[in-house]
Amino acid sequence: MTKRYVLGQPARHDTLRDRVAAALCWWKPSRSEDAGKGREFAALTDISFDVTSGEVFGIIGHNGAGKSILLKILSRITAPTSGSADIYGRVGSLLEVDTGFHPELTGRENIFLNGSILGMRRAEIAARLEEIIDFAGIEEFIDTPVKRYSSGMYVRLAFSVAAHFEPDILIVDEVLAVGDAGFQQKCLGKMRQASRGGRTVLVVSHNLPIIENLCQRALFLSQGRVAVTGPARDVVQAYAGMTADLATNQLEARSDRQGKGQVIATAIEVLDQHRQVSASAICGRETIVRWHYRCLPEKIIRRCRVELSLHARIGDPYGTAYFLMSTDLVNPLPLDLSGEGFIEFRVPEWPLSGGRYYVMSYVESDKEVQDWVHNASLLSVVDGDFYGTGKSYPPNWRGKCVLIKYDWTQTVRDDVQSLV
């Protein structure tokens, strides 16, 4: 199965009006900004895999790998350019936070609307109504228009609707990342229950523990092709290895990025306390992380927010985030970006112990993503005298990672002193 798009070309409509408009515009001269339009882009190439009935199947991959396009094909939202997807049974999809919801309708009304779309009779929907509302945990707001819901409330109701109408195949995209930890556990339990009941579940997530623990098998997509497929544990391990390789590539040339691209990250450097570029940060020492950027020519990107987050070391594929540095947390003044330049994040005492860490780069303007690169860089850390005692954590302690400043005191009670 293959899916191609023609870049710069709007979706084609074959109405009479569209054909007449096209005929009248045959004389229109091409413009310089149209250069490059018409070039084909292969979102998916030669994708082939099977999922058996009752199986929980995971799909993972970096940004831009083609995961969402694949799910849209499987959900019959878009058609493949060549090949076919053979699906046996009714499909329930949860691909975006507000999938299938009408913003002006209440939560209760949207439950009936979604049920009708899935081909259920009103009596069937009414029989499951209280169970759906109870699972979502939004009883107080069920008669409120969903346009007033938070993203978390959207997810609660959308997942509850999709799961309780009991489709033969349930397709769940990354949206569960929006919900809180307690609700995620409820969702995971519901998906396991669906599998035990003979239904098939397809899950896309960057949360690798979910893929490894929930799924029997998984597929790793890379640049629109199947890189690895097999037992979930093996696929997760292959993904972690390729992620480490990707993080060493030149950031400016990376293609696995999301956003409008009016401003992009071009490099990430580590500087020591003397502002000299360094190969590593030293635990306990002043460290500067310099984030380089480039904007589109002659354009000012207003009201920006830049974030850098430090994630798990190589060897831990689960991507645990240790801390976040964001321009708006410590200085909420408006940030405008233009041309080329850099932003420096200064950390007085670097808190991470020795090892190598992933850096995630993110920039948005007016709450719109401009550039988002997972595993944008590898940051090396060397152990130092963090506590000023010449001592550090026991070298074989597996929990060693984040260090904090603290002190301790001893208090001896009178009745204990009398025994001494």
- Shared domain for 274 and 207, answered yes or no, is no
Structure token pair of residue 161: 């609707």
Q: 3-state DSSP call for residue 95?
A: coil
220, 238 in Cβ contact below 8 A? yes
Arithmetic mean of pLDDT over the chain: 82
Q: Of the spans 28-32, 118-122, 200-204, 359-363, which averages the highest pLDDT?
A: 359-363
User: How is residue 251 written in tokens?
Assistant: 């950031």
Per-residue pLDDT at 26 exceeds 70? no
Other beta carbons less than 10 A from residue 103's beta carbon: 11
Which residue from 190, 247, 228, 201 is spatially nearest to 60, judged by alpha carbons?
Answer: 228
Whether 371 and 239 share a structural domain: no
Residues 289 and 227 in one domain: no
Q: Residue 124 has what pLDDT?
A: 86
Measured between alpha carbons, how far apart are the two ends of the chain, in Å? 80
| Same domain (yes/no): 221, 279 | no
Which residue has better confidence, 331 or 359?
359
Which residue, 215, 307, 312, is CA-closest to 265?
307
pLDDT tops 50 at residue 32: no
Please state, in angstroms and rounded to a whole number, the distance separating the CA atoms of residues 253 and 377: 12
pLDDT (average), residues 363-371: 93
- Using pLDDT thresholds of 50, 70 and 90, give the confidence band for residue 30: very low
pLDDT in the model for residue 188: 82
Please indicate, yes or no, if residue 173 is contained in any of the structural domains. Answer: yes
Nearest-angstrom CA–CA distance, 323 and 39: 41
* CB 151 within 8 Å of CB 367: no
**Residue finishing a domain among 192, 220, 245:** 245
Residue 32 forms part of a structural domain: no
CATH number, domain of 330, equals 2.70.50.60
Which pLDDT band holds residue 33 (cuts at 50, 70, 90)? very low
At 165, the amino acid letter reads: F
Q: Which position has the token pair 């860490």?
A: 357
CB of 158 closer than 8 Å to CB of 99: yes
Looking at the structure, tell me whether residues 206 and 318 fall in a common domain: no
Range of the domain at 142: 48-245
Q: Residue count of the chain, please give it.
A: 420
- pLDDT-derived band of residue 223, with 50, 70 and 90 as boundaries? confident
pLDDT in tens, 275-316: 888 888 988 999 999 999 999 999 999 999 999 999 876 555
By C-alpha distance, which of 55, 89, 52 is closest to 165?
89
Average pLDDT over residues 359-379: 92
Query: pLDDT tens for residues 37-86?
Result: 567 788 899 999 999 998 999 999 877 788 889 988 998 888 999 999 99
| Arithmetic mean of pLDDT, 355-361 | 89
Residue 235 lies in a domain: yes
Q: Is 401 a domain residue?
A: no
Phi, psi for 252 (deg, rounded to 5): -60, -30
Band of residue 212 on the pLDDT scale cut at 50, 70, 90? confident
| C-alpha to C-alpha distance for 266 and 235, rounded to whole angstroms | 30
pLDDT digits (tens, 9 = 90+) for 103-137: 899 999 999 988 887 777 889 889 999 999 998 88
**What is the tally of helices (H) and strands (E) in the chain?**
10, 19
- The pLDDT value given to residue 121: 84
Q: What is the pLDDT of residue 55?
A: 93
Compute the distance between CA of residue 361 and CA of residue 365 in angstroms, rounded to an integer: 14
Mean pLDDT of all residues in 189-206:
86
Q: Are strands 321-326 and 304-313 parallel, antiparallel or unpaired?
A: antiparallel
What is the structure's pLDDT at 159? 82
Q: Kindly state whether residues 241 and 336 are assigned to the same domain.
A: no
% of the chain with per-residue pLDDT over 70 = 82
Q: pLDDT: is 391 or 33 the higher one?
A: 391
Q: What's the pLDDT score for residue 312?
A: 78
- pTM, full prediction: 0.65
Is the domain of 63 the same as that of 171?
yes
d(CA 28, CA 36): 17
389 within domain boundaries:
no
Say how many domains are in the chain: 2
Q: Are residues 229 and 301 in the same domain?
A: no
Q: Are residues 261 and 184 in the same domain?
A: no
Q: What is the pLDDT of residues 225-266, one digit of tens each?
A: 999 999 998 898 788 777 666 666 789 988 888 899 999 999
Same domain, 79 and 207: yes
At 191, which CATH number?
Answer: 3.40.50.300
Nearest to 384 by CA among 284, 240, 250: 284
Please compute the mean of the pLDDT values over residues 380-395 and round it to a whole number. 79
Tokens of 19: 């054909």
Q: Kindly state whether residues 355 and 326 are assigned to the same domain.
A: yes
